């Protein structure tokens, strides 16, 4: 019979094989290896996830045995000790009597107008000056000495 439509038959599609001189790409090997490794992993996990305590079906559970328990108790005990009473304070007082003799001499007026500096009043320490009622002593006054003026401000026995 003749073709009523007068058309040619369509050719079937055929894949072309890769050329023989070209090696297979590296990803082509992974197509088989990776799924096989994944399957082995899942099978291993499934087998390992079974009941760990169950070895046989006829095994009976072991009866619970009493176990000793350990309890630690710490107790701190302190003993109150009375505070020692302070001893009575004893103060020894020594009274010092200082006698001061001042001799007044008339000076001859030489016309220089300055003091010659001859001073007969001397205090060994500030306690003597206070006992004599002379403290504080200013520079230029009778009884002033540099060993009595600690801070060298011109006032001896000021504190």
In whole angstroms, what is the distance from residue 125 CA to residue 131 CA? 10
> Which sequence spans correspond to the domains of the chain?
126-156
Supply φ then ψ for residue 155, to 5 degrees.
-125, 115
Tens-digit pLDDT profile for residues 98-135:
777 777 665 554 444 444 445 578 888 999 998 988 88
Tens-digit pLDDT profile for residues 23-66:
666 666 667 778 888 899 988 888 877 666 655 556 666 677 88
Contacts of 116 (CB under 8 A, 6+ apart): 107
Both tokens of 79, joined, read 């003993």
In whole angstroms, what is the distance from residue 62 CA to residue 79 CA? 53
Both tokens of 64, joined, read 């619970």
In whole angstroms, what is the distance from residue 40 CA to residue 46 CA? 10
CB 156 within 8 A of CB 145: yes
Q: Band the pLDDT of 85: cuts 50, 70, 90.
A: confident
Cut 0.85: pTM above it: no
Q: Which of 17-21, 87-91, 104-108, 134-138 has the highest mean pLDDT?
A: 134-138
Instruction: Give the residues across from 137 on adjacent strands.
Output: 156
CB 147 within 8 A of CB 127: no
């Amino acid at each position: 019979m003749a073709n009523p439509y007068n058309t040619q038959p369509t050719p079937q599609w055929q894949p072309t094989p890769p050329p023989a001189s070209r090696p297979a790409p590296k990803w082509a090997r992974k197509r088989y290896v990776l799924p096989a490794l994944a399957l082995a992993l899942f099978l291993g996990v499934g087998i390992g996830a079974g009941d760990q305590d169950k070895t046989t079906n006829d095994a009976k559970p072991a009866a619970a045995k009493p176990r000793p328990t350990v309890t630690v108790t710490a107790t701190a005990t302190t003993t109150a000790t009375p505070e020692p009473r302070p001893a009575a304070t004893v103060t020894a007082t020594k009274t010092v009597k200082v006698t001061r003799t001042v001799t007044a001499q008339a000076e001859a007026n030489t016309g220089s107008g300055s003091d010659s500096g001859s001073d007969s009043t001397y205090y060994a320490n500030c306690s003597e000056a206070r006992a004599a009622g002379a403290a504080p002593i200013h520079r230029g006054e009778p009884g002033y000495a540099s060993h009595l003026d600690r801070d060298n401000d011109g006032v001896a026995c000021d504190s």
